[in-house]
Amino acid sequence: MRKNRLTALALGAFALTTLTQCFTEKQDEGKRLYVQQCQSCHLEDGSGLRGLIPPIAKADYLENHRDQLPCLIRHGIAGPMVVNGKEYNKEMPGVDLREDQITNLLNYIQTNYGNNNKRYTFEEVEQLLSDCPVQH
């Protein structure tokens, strides 16, 4: 009987450790994706590149165009956009990410770099991506 308890305790500790590592990795996924996919243009501090690439730090665009952001990440954007009252017109390529990765990336951006915007749910991102305009 004692041996069964020890086995159960060991298995429980192993499962808890494994699950904690999974959640921790997902928690940091938004930051990791930003570094891999966005930082080279939007910079480490989110300030963008003077006059060419808009900032994401304290960017009004993130809140004003919330419903468009998942499509913007997946498909990119071309043409002028106004961020914090300044016009930018540099094409941004899309990034091939899964819906959960886009959700994590957006939530990282929405809650860092001086931004304090509402977080996305996975279901919301999935729906917004399904409504993306057709890309040519």
pLDDT above 70: residue 124? yes
- pLDDT tier for residue 6 given thresholds of 50, 70 and 90: low
User: Which phi and psi angles does 86 have, rounded to 5°?
Assistant: -115, 140
Q: How many CB atoms lie within 10 A of CB 46?
A: 20
DSSP state of 66: G
Question: Higher pLDDT residue, 84 or 13?
Answer: 84
Say which CATH class 29-130 falls into.
mainly alpha
User: Burial letters for 111-132: b for 16+ Cβ neighbours within 10 Å, e otherwise?
Assistant: eebebeeeebeeebbeebbeee
Contacts with 13 (C-beta within 8 Å, 6 or more apart), sequence order: none
Mind listing the pLDDT tens digit for each residue in 57-72?
Answer: 999 999 999 999 999 9
Give mean pLDDT, residues 42-60.
95
C-beta of residue 57 within 8 angstroms of C-beta of residue 34:
no
What pLDDT sits at residue 50? 86
| Its pTM surpasses 0.85 | no
Q: Who has greater pLDDT, 2 or 71? A: 71
